[in-house]
């Protein structure tokens, strides 16, 4: 089955066409060479752009020479207004101590203990769907956002009292659709405040979200510890400087985990359900596996670990439609990556969407085939050919949590319902930091 994909242009787009695509949906501007060659480079005497797709080159950029390829100014402009100096945006030692502070919250034993809450959120969604009835039309993108948002609140924020899930999810969407994409102010390198001033809807969303988390932090400072992520971050201390997180840095990190933590998994589930809905054979294999592993009982963490094929479905969905379709870096010194010279000041694109469909790295790269992630085929795959959670020391801290959550929820939902894609809805992946389906994902409910 070949699901919809971006059709790359044969070569570089004309200047104004490329500019429009950069503002509208950057992944549609990547030329075909990005999907076919180890790297693609263009530019002039002012600025060079390098699209890196070769796993050896990516290993240097993301791991072996990571200090020579820091995050770039464009990433900071898009993310820092909302996420400040938290784990996603911080650099150097300031990032390292925050990473060490948050890591215990994502230990395997902690993730295992969270699985029942993940399953419960999916079962609650099924109950809501049954009330809607056979043939109900659902926007699965919205439904998955609600489920994963609730999981974050229940597992990491002890229920998140005072947080309005629906309002917060809407505000996160408002931010991503405005301040979460490249604007003319970025291209012209106007002061950062101008991009905020030109996007009042995004600005209002940012103010709402920060105030929401500020209130939670203020309340939790006065309350006894609960042993969740909030407490872990409040008690964290940099072993070298003795620094602790003040309320602003705590807010930045909690907002990062709330926003990024639910958004990426919601998108992985949205695309997974769409692909399963398009492919009855895959749906039947998922149901058979769940029945064999757990019967009719609610899934446990041990059950989720045994859902091998269901996990492969999620992995394949994240290959075809990665939640984070692009990473970027700036070369800070004259160096090499994968044996190719890279000059200081080169703007590096890591085009994950294209890497995951690269002609030199994958067989039938545009086809939906979960069996490509079976152990025998995965064994020889280069580590940096598959980057749904990034790579190197800055790999997503929550990847084990997200994958467990996605498998548990997908298995529960597919066992309880069939979802049929709307044949009249055009599937267009659009990049807004994350990669969303334009117009949501309307599907028709068939109860089981």
pLDDT by residue for the chain (448 residues), tens only, comes to: 999 999 999 988 888 888 888 888 999 999 999 999 999 998 877 889 999 999 999 999 999 999 999 988 888 888 888 888 888 888 888 888 888 888 888 889 889 999 999 999 999 999 999 999 999 999 999 999 999 999 998 888 877 777 888 888 888 888 888 887 777 777 777 888 888 888 889 899 999 999 999 998 898 888 888 888 888 888 888 777 778 889 999 999 888 888 887 889 999 999 999 999 999 999 999 999 999 999 999 999 999 999 999 999 999 999 999 999 999 999 999 999 999 999 999 999 999 999 999 999 999 999 999 999 999 999 989 999 999 999 999 999 999 999 999 999 999 999 999 999 999 999 999 998 889 999 999 999 999 8
Q: 323 with 268: CB under 8 angstroms?
A: yes
Q: Which residues contact 280 (CB under 8 A, 6 or more apart)?
A: none
CA atoms within 13 A on the CB side of 427: 20
Dihedral of alpha carbons 210, 211, 216, 221, sign: positive
15-447 under CATH 1.10.630.10, yes or no: yes
**Do the beta carbons of residue 440 and residue 145 sit within 8 Å?**
no
CB neighbourhood size of 111 (10 A): 20
pTM for the predicted model, two decimal places: 0.92
């Amino acid at each position: 089955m070949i699901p919809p994909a971006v059709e790359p242009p044969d070569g570089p787009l004309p200047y104004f066409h490329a500019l429009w695509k950069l503002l509208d949906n950057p992944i549609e501007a990547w030329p075909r060479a990005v999907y076919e060659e180890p790297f693609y480079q263009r530019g002039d005497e002012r600025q060079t752009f390098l699209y890196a797709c070769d796993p050896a080159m990516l290993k240097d950029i993301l791991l072996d020479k990571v200090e020579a390829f820091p995050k770039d100014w464009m990433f900071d402009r898009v993310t820092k207004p909302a996420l400040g100096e938290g784990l996603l945006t911080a650099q150097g030692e300031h990032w390292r101590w925050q990473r060490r502070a948050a890591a215990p919250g994502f230990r395997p034993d902690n993730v295992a203990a969270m699985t029942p809450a993940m399953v419960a959120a999916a079962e609650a969604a099924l109950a809501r769907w049954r009330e809607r009835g056979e043939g109900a039309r659902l926007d699965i993108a919205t439904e998955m956002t609600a489920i994963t948002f609730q999981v974050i609140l229940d597992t990491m924020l002890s229920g998140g009292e005072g947080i309005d899930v629906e309002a917060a999810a809407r505000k996160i969407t408002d931010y991503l659709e405005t301040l979460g994409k490249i604007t003319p102010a970025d291209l012209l390198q106007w002061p950062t405040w101008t991009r905020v001033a030109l996007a009042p809807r995004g600005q209002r969303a940012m103010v709402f979200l920060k105030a929401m988390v500020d209130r939670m932090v203020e309340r939790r400072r006065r309350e006894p510890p609960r042993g969740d992520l909030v407490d872990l971050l409040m008690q964290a201390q940099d072993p070298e400087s003795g620094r602790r997180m003040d309320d602003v840095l705590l807010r930045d990190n909690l907002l990062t985990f709330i926003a990024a933590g639910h958004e990426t998994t919601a998108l992985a589930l949205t695309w997974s359900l769409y692909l399963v809905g398009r492919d009855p054979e895959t749906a039947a294999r998922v149901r058979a596996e769940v029945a064999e592993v757990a019967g009719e009982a609610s899934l446990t963490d041990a059950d989720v670990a045994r859902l091998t094929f269901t996990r492969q479905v999620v992995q394949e969905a994240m290959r075809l439609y990665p939640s984070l379709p692009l990473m970027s870096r700036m070369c800070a010194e004259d160096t090499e990556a994968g044996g190719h010279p890279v000059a200081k000041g080169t703007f590096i694109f890591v085009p994950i969407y294209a890497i995951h469909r690269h002609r030199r790295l994958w067989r039938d790269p545009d086809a939906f085939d979960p069996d490509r992630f079976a152990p025998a085929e995965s064994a020889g795959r280069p580590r940096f050919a598959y980057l749904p959670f990034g790579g190197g020391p800055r790999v997503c801290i929550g990847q084990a949590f997200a994958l467990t959550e996605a498998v548990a929820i997908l298995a529960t939902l597919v066992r309880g319902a069939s979802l049929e894609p709307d044949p009249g809805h055009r599937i267009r992946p659009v990049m807004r930091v994350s990669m969303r389906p334009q117009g949501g994902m309307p599907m028709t409910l068939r109860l089981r």
